[in-house]
Amino acid sequence: MSLPRFDNRFVTELPGDPESGPRRREVAGALWSGVAPTPVPAPQLLAHSAEVAAALGLDAADIADPAFAQVFAGNTLYPGMRPFAANYGGHQFGHWAGQLGDGRAISLGEALGVDGRRHELQLKGAGPTPYSRGADGRAVLRSSIREFLCSEAMHHLGVPTTRALSLVGTGEVVVRDMFYDGDPRPEPGAIVCRVAPSFLRFGSFELPAARGDVALLRQLADFTVRRDFPQLEGQGETLYAEWFGQVCERTAQMVAHWMRVGFVHGVMNTDNMSILGLTIDYGPYGWIDDYDPDWTPNTTDAQGRRYRFGTQPQVAYWNLGRLAQALAPLFAGAAPLQAGLERFREAYVAADRRNTADKLGLAECRDDDLDLLAELRGLMQLGEMDMTLTFRSLIECTPETDTLEPLSAVFYSLDRREEVRARLEQWMRRYATRLREETDSPEQRRERMRRANPRYVLRNYLAQQVIDQAEQGDASGIAELLDVMRRPYDEQPGREAFAQKRPDWARHRAGCSMLSCSS
Ligand code: AMP
Ligand code: MG
């Protein structure tokens, strides 16, 4: 067995809490607390990602070794691991929430992979930490399956994301009140090992800033630039400005991808925004079925719908504003931070134009094309049309298409289809006219569309079916679904069932259209 080497720079180079262990407390002047995972009774490996394992230098034999399930259940450590929980704060639903920290995540260490890259290994659901507040530090199987699958599905879609190495059942029961309605019930517990070069969040910088601890803020900023943005040059304010600008650009690109594939994060609090521009913290996320920019899967956010699909770019920008505020003490004036925020706008507009062209199969995006897509979005909403299927079906259009024939499978309601029929036919003619102006070959156009419009996404009901099965003791569906999501842009003969629109039974079912933060 060849285990990765751990260099654990975060805990070696940055100040930690003098007290270790899980006693709940406010931790000032420190960015982490040493705390070991709490052992579980019966670890059972339910799924793993072969690609992530390979990047760490772990082969099939290493994964089959009982030590693997023990380590990634938190029962034992590989040599070189140094477990800790990170300290951070955050704005939750628009309000400053103070110290939050890793309440149920415990990082085991920073591994150097076979390619020399950094992979922090972090268990989610590993037991209490100083940051657990009133909660148990555990995670249930359903939310762990969702995090495991979506991390990997997003990666294969080309969306920047944290990854998942393993999913381990703990053999322990966890009690959750799924909809906070006074009906707590025991559920099977599980632990995901998530993997990323860094799990630092906007909130990691907000907490020292809110406490007026500028020295600690500066130490963290310097560390982050050195470790996570080594390609940046310059020093002092210039360097910080370039770094912040990069964070803004990466965040813009991440959100543009979400909008392209129909992903709704669900809880875009600043403690859930990665400093690397990775999608992080898969909780009550969801995928758009029938197109609705006002939809959020998160029942905890049902009133304000702050984190609905259509406002994600604005929310990301607002969150960057909170990060800018936190970093302000490192700057003499606000101009460089303003310039960074402007880079978000520019990067988002550029990515949105590229996505518009690619989704419609056009060589370039003209201003009119933005209207063309906006009109289609409006019709998709009115006509209750499936987002993924609509874009994928447009691949079949030709410059001669003037009927709804290519879109026959995308409607959830025939009444709605008839309501939009005339306008949609008109749109199809407009699109066909636009296609006649293209000089690319039809095959080039179709290929461009195939790469921008996935055929397979992790529809909420697909994940829920696998969860139902796993809760009955059969976890085989997890690997099967993961395998489909490995090639989301390819036609996969025999797997058409995974590309269908949401079935009727799933329309209002918990886990399929409604999720809460209880996980
Ligand atoms: P989230 O909404 O999942 O990002 O969580 C917000 C905060 O609550 C983070 O600080 C989490 O660590 C903490 N948290 C959520 N669930 C639990 C739990 N079961 N035990 C301890 N802390 C938790
Ligand atoms: Mg979180």
Take atom 11 of ligand 1 and give the residue whose Cα is closest: 103
DSSP 23-73: ------S-SEEE-PPPP-S--EEEEE-HHHHHHTT--HHHHHSHHHHHHTT
**Cα–Cα dist 31/33, whole Å:** 7
Percentage of the residues of the chain whose pLDDT score is greater than 70: 100
Tokens in use for 369?
A: 């094309």
Q: Mean pLDDT over all residues of the chain?
A: 97
Query: Which ligand is closest to the CA of 284, given by its number?
Result: 1
**Gap from CA of 63 to ligand 1 centroid (Å):** 29
Kind of pairing, strands 89-92 and 263-264? unpaired
Full residue range of the structural domain in which residue 242 is found: 203-357
Largest CA distance in the chain: 72
Residue with tokens 């990067």: 347
Average pLDDT for 370-386: 98
| Tens-place pLDDT, residues 66-125 | 999 999 999 999 999 999 999 999 999 999 999 999 999 999 999 999 999 999 999 999
Rg of the chain in Å (alpha carbons): 23
**Gap from CA of 56 to ligand 2 centroid (Å):** 25
510 or 431, greater pLDDT = 431
Residue with tokens 């210039």: 238
**Cα–Cα dist 28/208, whole Å:** 8
Other beta carbons within 10 Å of 112? 15
Does ligand 1 come within 6 angstroms of the Cβ of 125?
Answer: no
| Tens-place pLDDT, residues 108-129 | 999 999 999 999 999 999 999 9
Domain assignment present for residue 402? The answer is yes
Take atom 14 of ligand 1 and give the residue whose Cα is closest: 103
Domain assignment present for residue 175? The answer is yes
Half-sphere exposure of 230 (CA within 13 A, CB side): 4
Residue 340 and residue 348 in contact, taking contact as beta carbons nearer than 8 Å? no
Residue with tokens 């420190």: 30
| Tens-place pLDDT, residues 451-460 | 999 999 999 9
Does ligand 1 come within 6 angstroms of the Cβ of 374?
Answer: no
Indicate if 169 and 24 belong to the same structural domain.
yes
Mark whether 271 is an active-site residue: yes
* pLDDT class of 180 with cuts at 50, 70, 90: confident
* pLDDT class of 141 with cuts at 50, 70, 90: very high
Domain assignment present for residue 394? The answer is yes
CB-neighbour burial class of residue 405 (10 A; exposed 0-12, middle 13-18, buried 19+): exposed
SS3 label, residue 384: coil
**Gap from CA of 512 to ligand 1 centroid (Å):** 22
**Gap from CA of 271 to ligand 2 centroid (Å):** 6
User: In the prediction, which pLDDT does 239 show?
Assistant: 98
Domain assignment present for residue 10? The answer is yes
Residue 119 and residue 110 in contact, taking contact as beta carbons nearer than 8 Å? yes
Residue 274, pLDDT > 80, answer yes
Query: Which ligand is closest to the CA of 126, given by its number?
Result: 1
Average pLDDT for 121-138: 97
Does ligand 1 come within 6 angstroms of the Cβ of 395?
Answer: no
Indicate if 102 and 187 belong to the same structural domain.
yes
Indicate if 300 and 371 belong to the same structural domain.
no
Domain assignment present for residue 519? The answer is no
Ligand 1 atom with the smallest distance to the CA of 281 is 4
Residue 88 and residue 101 in contact, taking contact as beta carbons nearer than 8 Å? yes
User: Candidates 99, 100, 177, 199: which one to mutate for ligand 1, based on the most atoms within 8 Å of Cβ?
Assistant: 100
Angle at the Cα of 149 (from 145 to 151), degrees rounded to 5?
120
Q: Which residue, among 359, 382, 379, has the nearest Cα to 370 in the 3D structure?
A: 359
Question: Cα 139 vs. chain centroid, distance in angstroms?
Answer: 17
Indicate if 220 and 187 belong to the same structural domain.
no
Other beta carbons within 10 Å of 354? 16
DSSP 312-373: HHHHHHHHHHHHHHHHGGGSSSSHHHHHHHHHHHHHHHHHHHHHHHHHHT-SS--HHHHHHH
* pLDDT class of 1 with cuts at 50, 70, 90: low
Indicate if 30 and 158 belong to the same structural domain.
yes
Query: Which ligand is closest to the CA of 307, given by its number?
Result: 1
User: What angle, rounded to 10 degrees, do the helices at 141-157 and 476-485 form?
Assistant: 20
**Gap from CA of 272 to ligand 2 centroid (Å):** 5
Indicate which residue of 102, 228, 271, 386 is catalytic: 271
User: In the prediction, which pLDDT does 513 show?
Assistant: 82
Dihedral angle sign, alpha carbons of residues 23, 24, 28, 30: positive
**Gap from CA of 280 to ligand 2 centroid (Å):** 8
Domain assignment present for residue 485? The answer is no
Q: Which residue, among 336, 272, 269, has the nearest Cα to 307 in the 3D structure?
A: 269
Residue 252, pLDDT > 90, answer yes
Does ligand 1 come within 6 angstroms of the Cβ of 301?
Answer: no
Q: Which residue, among 97, 140, 152, 384, has the nearest Cα to 267 in the 3D structure?
A: 97
Q: Name every residue whose Cβ is closer than 8 Å to that of residue 371 and which is 6 or more positions away in sequence.
A: none
Domain assignment present for residue 469? The answer is no
**Cα–Cα dist 189/169, whole Å:** 6
Dihedral angle sign, alpha carbons of residues 274, 69, 169, 286: positive
**Cα–Cα dist 165/195, whole Å:** 7
Domain assignment present for residue 34? The answer is yes
Does ligand 1 come within 6 angstroms of the Cβ of 100?
Answer: yes
Indicate if 91 and 43 belong to the same structural domain.
yes
Tokens in use for 495?
A: 């797997």
The last residue of one of the domains, among 437, 460, 487, is: 437
Residue 102 and residue 131 in contact, taking contact as beta carbons nearer than 8 Å? yes
Residue 2 and residue 56 in contact, taking contact as beta carbons nearer than 8 Å? no
Burial track 487-510 (b if 16+ CB lie within 10 A, e otherwise): ebbeeeeeeeebbebbeeebeeee
**Cα–Cα dist 316/307, whole Å:** 10
Q: What residues form DSSP beta bridges with 34?
A: 84
Does ligand 1 come within 6 angstroms of the Cβ of 144?
Answer: no
The last residue of one of the domains, among 437, 456, 477, is: 437
Does ligand 1 come within 6 angstroms of the Cβ of 138?
Answer: yes
**Cα–Cα dist 167/229, whole Å:** 30
Other beta carbons within 10 Å of 207? 26
Does ligand 1 come within 6 angstroms of the Cβ of 102?
Answer: yes
Question: pTM here?
Answer: 0.98
Q: Name every residue whose Cβ is closer than 8 Å to that of residue 474 and which is 6 or more positions away in sequence.
A: none
**Cα–Cα dist 299/458, whole Å:** 19
Does ligand 1 come within 6 angstroms of the Cβ of 127?
Answer: no
Residue 159 and residue 261 in contact, taking contact as beta carbons nearer than 8 Å? yes
E-strand spans in 211-304? Answer: 263-264, 286-287
Indicate if 369 and 352 belong to the same structural domain.
no
Indicate if 209 and 278 belong to the same structural domain.
yes
| Tens-place pLDDT, residues 275-330 | 999 999 999 999 999 999 999 999 999 899 999 999 999 999 999 999 999 999 99
Indicate if 114 and 233 belong to the same structural domain.
no
Instruction: Specify the number of domains making up the chain.
Output: 3
Ligand 1 atom with the smallest distance to the CA of 517 is 2
**Cα–Cα dist 195/289, whole Å:** 28
**Gap from CA of 215 to ligand 1 centroid (Å):** 27
The last residue of one of the domains, among 323, 357, 391, is: 357
* pLDDT class of 477 with cuts at 50, 70, 90: very high
